[in-house]
Amino acid sequence: MSVIKKDRKTIIGILGGGQLARMSAFQAIRMGFEVAILEKEKDSPAGSLTKNEFVGWLNDEEVLNRFIEASDIITLENEFIDSSFLKKIEEQGKKVIPSSKTISLIQDKLIQKTTLKKAGVPVPNFLQINSDTSFENVKNILGKKFLLKSRKMGYDGYGNATIKNKNDYQNALEKLSSRHAELYAEEFVNFRKELAIMVVRTKKEIKCYPVVETIQKNHICHLVIAPAQIEKRLSKLAEEIAIHSVEAVKGFGIFGIEMFLDEQDKISVNEMAPRPHNSGHYSIEGCITSQFENHIRATLGLPLGSTKMVKPYAVMINLLGKRNDIGILQNYDEILSDDNINLHIYGKKNSRIGRKMGHITIIGENLKSLIKIARSKEKKIIL
């Protein structure tokens, strides 16, 4: 049965009120729907857009129940919500997309990697870390350079450490365990490029966005180039791997799949996210249907829109906070003084050095010049 209401606006509940929820909400509202937002603090980037703003979190049963009650269907903007909470929501008769089952296969990176590997998806070598696993144990299996990663709650590089010796290992064990106790180790991939693809799937359709190249700075996504400048054969392979990954977790909804392309042209999956993804922001202006619109469409089980690009190239650059101050852009005139700039500011109350505060997208015919403009604008941002 369709969740779309005929006698009032359909309300899509989003767990989380950050920038991803905000950009999905814009699209929901544009298409005549409403959103309900659950976030810990009032006036979040997405919460501030709707009268259905619920302030609290999953452990606050009263608020959670009101949020569930207000929503016709529920989706999420991050994978950090324990899947057992989602299961409870499903047991109350409310549909969650992606399902609690899918989230349970993704939110623990060790379970995610194990699931993908079992399904035949190429992943880097990895190893569970127990309290008695020594540096030598890991080194013997993964080689002398590897990463320690938190199994849960990692984002923007928080939760990762590169290990080259016993000292690094001991320090990282202490540091990472203080954030989240359970860890795993992963072989260091000497990648030539990092790639990403968005995949959107309903019971009736599955569509891929173009393969993009992502360039991280300090483990945070910095620049995205769409489409990735790689051979057609490799794009095709990346697409197949991405679809295979989504099927492996029985995923419906929208997914971002991060991949490594190594010197031997081997592609392996780094991680997948069950939601819109930073690497897909370019699609707002770059594609016929953005990842956020298709997120809403897939959540509601509606026909998916075209994922084709509208111009040959799109370049997206993240605007990371440059100061610890109010989250208001200080120089709109300077940033907008180019007729090809698409500016997105997330409306976060406070800026913090390195915090994702917004992004810029430029689309056009000349990739080199798009990258040049994007970089020079980013440098000028005061935020």
Ligand X SMILES: Nc1ncnc2c1ncn2[C@@H]1O[C@H](COP(=O)(O)OP(=O)(O)O)[C@@H](O)[C@H]1O
In the bound state with ligand X, the residue whose beta carbon lies nearer, of 123 and 373, is 123
Pick from 155, 244, 247, 342 the residue near ligand X by CB under 6 A. Answer: 155
Q: Which of 240, 151, 310, 77 is nearest to 248 (CA)?
A: 240
Pick from 122, 157, 301, 305 the residue near ligand X by CB under 6 A. Answer: 157
| CA atoms of 101 and 341, how far apart (whole Å) | 40
Taking CB under 6 A as the rule, does residue 276 contact ligand X? no
Pick from 13, 16, 154, 256 the residue near ligand X by CB under 6 A. Answer: 154
x-marked contacts with ligand X along 343-382 as a string, rule CB under 6 A: ----------------------------------------
x-marked contacts with ligand X along 256-275 as a string, rule CB under 6 A: --x-----------xx----
x-marked contacts with ligand X along 187-206 as a string, rule CB under 6 A: xxx----x------------
| CA atoms of 20 and 277, how far apart (whole Å) | 8
Q: Which of 267, 139, 123 is nearest to 191 (CA)?
A: 267
Give the 3-state secondary structure of residue 186.
strand
| CA atoms of 334 and 377, how far apart (whole Å) | 8
**Which of these segments, 143-151, 255-263, 352-360, 365-373, binds Mg ion (CB under 5 A)?**
255-263
**Which of these segments, 1-9, 73-81, 136-144, 186-194, binds ligand X (CB under 6 A)?**
186-194
| CA atoms of 78 and 85, how far apart (whole Å) | 14
Evaluated on CA atoms 186, 191, 196, 197, the torsion sign reads: negative
Q: How far is the CB of 194 from ligand X (least distance, A)?
A: 6
Q: How far is the CB of 258 from Mg ion (least distance, A)?
A: 5
Q: Which of 359, 382, 357, 360 is nearest to 370 (CA)?
A: 360
Unique residue bearing structure tokens 């005061």: 382
| CA atoms of 242 and 233, how far apart (whole Å) | 14
Q: How far is the CB of 257 from Mg ion (least distance, A)?
A: 10
Pick from 186, 213, 293, 378 the residue near ligand X by CB under 6 A. Answer: 186
Nearest-10 crossing angle of helices 291-300, 19-30: 70
Q: Could you list the residues that contact ligand X (CB under 6 A)?
A: 124, 147, 149, 154-157, 159-160, 186-189, 194, 216, 219, 258, 270-271
